[in-house]
Structure 1
């Protein structure tokens, strides 16, 4: 049976847009929700400024469908606010040469609690409140116990983060807008995740 590539691509795009729209409709009203975004193959988070309370960061080794192990870091923040949030993912449309970007933007102050983010790339300006601590433990099979950073408060500005998974206990996103763009002109210039151990090895 012949497949109409263009029709398939349109249906694929519309399905994803509807899915994104349902999620956005929940948060547009400022409703606090639990938001897991693991297993979507990685996405990019950009924002102008994050002010957080209760910051921790440590090294980690994660896995996904492509890698049995790859290096990453985990950042945890108890609560905070975000200005200029833009979360997006680029998807290659099957059977075409097109790329579709799905993005969620908020032009107002977003508030969150219980943020955990697993990422492979961070480009930002970080400022810590007094009292930051660097923990360096003895060599261990548990990467988390080897080195870590904590601080009572953190300010992160002009951030671009390549995230593999993100969990938040609650978040409000007033002023949320959902956009889809075909073949965006600008792409996030982030290094490809290094696969330390491919699946099946």
Structure 2
């Protein structure tokens, strides 16, 4: 049976836009949600400023369909606000075009219980109330080896290549969900090297 690529691409894009719209509707309603995004090959998070309380970051090892293990870091923030938030995923189409699915908020978003697993971070970080670095003895558990924590953190002009993101609750006023064909801009992040292949 022959597959009509044009119809498939249209159905795929429309389905994903509807899925993003439902997710955005739930989030804008202030309902507590956990949104796992692992297994989709990573996505980009950009924002102007994040102010958070209860910050912790530690090394981690993750896996996906391409790597049995790759180095990453996990950042956790108890609560905070984000201004200029833009999340997007670029998808390569069979005809060579690139389709970007994005969620933008032009107002200040508030969140609680943020956990983000990422492989790349380019931003200006300021620890408002001091910071603590803990280094343990060599261990099989990477998380026990080194961690960074602070009562408060400000992150500005951020570009993050994220593999998974979870949040207990978030409000996204002024949210726009849209698709763009062949976007002009692209976040340049180094490709993560596999520590162990599948």
Aligned residue for 1:36, secondary structure, equals: coil
Q: Does 1:36 align with 2:56?
A: no
Which residue number corresponds to residue 97 of structure 1? 96
User: Following TM superposition, by how much is the alpha carbon of 1:34 offset from its aligned partner in structure 2, in angstroms?
Assistant: 3.0
User: Following TM superposition, by how much is the alpha carbon of 1:112 offset from its aligned partner in structure 2, in angstroms?
Assistant: 0.4
Inter-partner Cα distance in structure 2 for 1:165 and 1:34? 11
Inter-partner Cα distance in structure 2 for 1:132 and 1:144? 17
> Pairwise mapping of residues 103-142 of structure 1 onto structure 2 (< 5 A)?
103-142=102-141
User: Following TM superposition, by how much is the alpha carbon of 1:97 offset from its aligned partner in structure 2, in angstroms?
Assistant: 1.1
User: Following TM superposition, by how much is the alpha carbon of 1:32 offset from its aligned partner in structure 2, in angstroms?
Assistant: 4.1
Q: TM-score, normalised by structure 1?
A: 0.94
Inter-partner Cα distance in structure 2 for 1:38 and 1:112? 20
Aligned residue for 1:135, secondary structure, equals: strand
Say if 2:83 and 2:108, in contact at 8 Å, map to a contact too: yes
Which residue number corresponds to residue 57 of structure 2? 57
Aligned residue for 1:170, secondary structure, equals: strand
How well do the aligned residues superpose, as a CA RMSD in angstroms?
1.2
**In the comparison of the two structures, how many residue pairs are matched?**
198
Which residue number corresponds to residue 153 of structure 2? 154
Q: TM-score, normalised by structure 2?
A: 0.95
Inter-partner Cα distance in structure 2 for 1:31 and 1:182? 31
Q: Does 1:175 align with 2:174?
A: yes
Say if 1:90 and 1:102, in contact at 8 Å, map to a contact too: yes
Say if 1:35 and 1:170, in contact at 8 Å, map to a contact too: no
In structure 1, stretches of 5+ residues that fail to align are: none
Q: Deviations 1:20-54 (Å, cap 9, x if unpaired)? A: 12112222344443322222221000000000000
Aligned residue for 1:174, secondary structure, equals: coil
Aligned residue for 2:139, secondary structure, equals: coil
Inter-partner Cα distance in structure 1 for 2:137 and 2:32? 40
